Structure 1
């Protein structure tokens, strides 16, 4: 007898914050629910000090266990320009998580960045596929926490919350 299990991911919230208002500001950061089955996230950060020639970012996956606790992954990509500029050199785990949002944004090129950064209409279905079919995760509430760093100092914080049921 074969048992079939169906899981479904849903966004529950998104929060964005700039650590240094002189460096950047969020034009928008929202979760939009079009109907019961279609939700998406859109984020746009305006960069005030251009060009960006080097950056790094830290990614932490959290899972709620009586409060959010680190879950499996916590990594820092020290040279963001190298990471974005050479897709073949990417660590498979880092690539897996970057591909959650990367295809929906304008940061898929080498440095320098002479423009604002956006991620447009990341659908729940894309994240659902990655967390249930590509690499199945256990049910629960998750937080995808990304901190962008310039010269080692936190610049922006983006927190995406969701539930896998």
Structure 2
């Protein structure tokens, strides 16, 4: 269904990392569903801050009703070619995504270590999980 041609994390200046993903689609995506969890990690207890199951991404890109996912999308769209609703064809790109602490001021989360876990269902088939870990200082 898709091939990851590039998955790259590069260390930049001032301890900032950039993330680049390039996914070649082998068929048009007419249906995209997302499961998303944001978890604050600690030594004693991990705290789930947000969990969203079966988010219809195609519908979200038209109506943008979920405020948390809308906030994440509004930030990420400047680094991505996902700027329209389904179907998606050819490539999905995320280029040089960098998340700075100053950009996170608007997000209502405490400082600490976090995990962002996603699983994606494309055209009705669960195909990929993308997870990230980071520190908000």
Contact 2:30 2:123 in 1 (8 A): no
Task: Tell me, yes or no, if structure 1 residue 118 matches structure 2 residue 78.
Answer: no
Inter-CA distance 113–66: structure 2 relative to 1 (3 Å threshold): same
In 2, the alpha carbon distance for the partners of 1:57 and 1:45 equals 16
* Corresponding residue of 1:149: 121
Q: Unpaired runs of 5+ in structure 1?
A: 1-22
User: How much has 1:54 moved relative to structure 2?
Assistant: 1.1
Is the alpha carbon distance of 1:68 and 1:122 closer, same or farther for their aligned partners in structure 2, counting shifts above 3 Å? farther
Q: Confirm or deny that 1:92 pairs with 2:67.
A: yes
2:106 to 126, 129, 134: 134
Aligned-residue CA RMSD (Å): 2.1
Mapped partners of 1:130, 1:95: distance in 2: 15
How far does residue 68 in structure 1 lie from its aligned partner after superposition?
7.9
Quote the residue 1:41 is aligned against: 19
Helix, strand or coil at the partner of 1:114:
coil
Superposition pairs for residues 64-103 of structure 1, below 5 Å? 64-66=41-43, 69-87=46-64, 90-103=65-78
* Whole-Å separation in 2 of the counterparts to 1:76 and 1:96: 17
Flag structure 2 segments of 5+ consecutive residues without an equivalent. Answer: none
Aligned length: 137
- What's the CA shift for 1:42? 0.9
TM-score of the two chains, using structure 2 as the length reference: 0.85
Relative contact order (alpha carbons < 8 A, sep ≥ 6): 1 or 2 greater? 1
Q: Which residue of 2 aligns with 1:107?
A: 82
Structure (1 or 2) with the larger CA radius of gyration = 1
Please, what TM-score do these two structures have when normalized by structure 1? 0.72
